[in-house]
Chains A and B, each alone.
Chain A
Amino acid sequence: MSPSTPTSHPEGTPAGGGTTNRRRRRGPRTWLAALPLLAFTGLCFGIPLGAIAFGAVTRTDPSTGTTQLTGEHLARSLQGPYLDSLIGSVQLSALTALIGGVLGVLIAQAVVTSRSQALRSAALTASGVLANFGGVPLAFAFIATVGISGVVTQLADLTGFGWNLYSFTGLTVVYLYFLIPLMVLVIAPALDGLRPQWREAAQNNGATGRQFWRHVGLPVLAPSLLGGFVLLFGTAFAAHATAAALVGGSVPLVTLKIADALSGNVLTGQENVALALGLDMILIAGLVMAVYLPLQRRSARWLR
Chain B
Amino acid sequence: MAAMTPTPAPATPDATPDTASGTTAPAAAAPAGPSVKARAPRRRPRPRVWRAAVFLLAGAYFLVPLVASFVFTVHVPGQGVSFEAYTQLLAADGFTESMLLSLGLAAATIALSLLLAVPALVAVRLGSPRLRPVVEVMCMLPLVVPPIALVTGITTVLRWGPEHLSRTPLYQTFLAVQDERFPVVLVLAYTVLALPFVYRSLDAGMRAVDVPTLVEAARSCGASWPYVVLRVLLPNLRASLAGAAFLTLALVLGEFTIASLLGFRPFAVWIVTISGAHARMSVAVSVLSLLITWLLLLVLSRAGTNPATVSSAPSTSPTSRKES
User: A residues bordering B, Cβ < 8 Å?
Assistant: 1-2, 4-10, 12-15, 26-27, 29-34, 36-38, 40-42, 44-45, 47-52, 55, 98-99, 102-103, 106-107, 109-110, 113-114, 121, 124-126, 128-138, 140-146, 150-152, 155-156, 158, 163, 169, 172-173, 176-178, 180-182, 185-186, 188-189, 199, 203, 208-210, 212-213, 231, 234-235, 237-242, 244-245, 255, 258-259, 262-263, 271, 274-275, 277-279, 281-282, 285-286, 289, 293
Contact = CB atoms under 8 A, between A and B. Distances in A.
A203 B40 contact: yes
B314 A128 contact: yes
Contacts of A151: 68-69, 71-72, 75
Given A155-B14, A235-B320, A124 B311 contact: yes
A37 B268 contact: no
Nearest to B159: A271
A53 B162 CA distance: 21
B323 A212 contact: no
A293 B196 CA distance: 13
Interface in B37-80: 37-40, 47, 50-51, 54-55, 58, 61-62, 64-66, 68-69, 71-73, 75
A102 B115 contact: no
A223 to B, nearest CB: 15
B311 A48 contact: no
Given A41-B138, A145-B64, A238-B147, A152 B215 contact: no
Contacts of B257: 240-241, 244, 255, 259
A140 B314 CA distance: 24
B6 interface: yes
A106 B32 contact: yes
23 contacts: A26-B127, A29-B127, A30-B126, A31-B128, A34-B119, A51-B157, A102-B3, A129-B293, A133-B293, A134-B322, A136-B272, A137-B289, A140-B69, A142-B10, A146-B68, A151-B68, A151-B69, A172-B6, A209-B38, A238-B147, A255-B146, A258-B149, A285-B145
Nearest to B259: A241
A114 B51 contact: yes
Contact of A1 (B61, B229, B268, B283): B229
B33 interface: yes
B124 A131 contact: no
Contact of B128 (A30, A110, A137): A30
B320 A238 contact: yes
B51 A240 contact: no
Given A30-B123, A173-B10, A138 B323 contact: yes
B314 A132 contact: yes
A143 B114 CA distance: 37
Contacts of B143: 234, 285, 289
B301 interface: yes
A3 B216 CA distance: 19
B323 A30 contact: no
Report the 8 A-B pairs with minimum CB-CB distance, sorted nearest first: A134-B323, A48-B153, A30-B127, A209-B37, A156-B13, A6-B225, A238-B146, A137-B286
B88 to A, nearest CB: 17
Nearest to B142: A45
Contacts of B118: 1, 5
Nearest to B187: A44
B6 A37 contact: no
Interface string B241-279: 000000000100011110011000000100110010001
Contacts of B195: 41
Contacts of A55: 156
Contacts of A136: 254, 256, 268, 271-272, 286
Contact of B72 (A31, A38, A150): A150
| B interface secondary structure, majority | helix
B315 A41 contact: no
A33 B3 contact: no
A135 B256 contact: yes
| Interface bracket on B | 35 or more
Contact of A213 (B36, B68, B127): B36
B141 A186 contact: no
Given A121-B311, A128-B315, A144-B279, 13 more contacts: A4-B115, A5-B119, A26-B127, A31-B131, A44-B188, A50-B153, A110-B55, A134-B322, A150-B72, A152-B14, A156-B13, A177-B62, A255-B324
B150 interface: yes
B261 A137 contact: no
Contacts of B260: 244, 263
Given A173-B6, A239-B324, A144 B153 contact: no
B91 interface: no
Given A1-B115, A178-B319, A238-B146, A213 B123 contact: no
A255 B219 contact: no
A196 B15 CA distance: 36
B62 A130 contact: yes
Interface string B14-38: 1001000000000011001111111
A135 B254 contact: yes
A185 B229 contact: no
A235 B272 CA distance: 22
B170 interface: no
B154 interface: yes
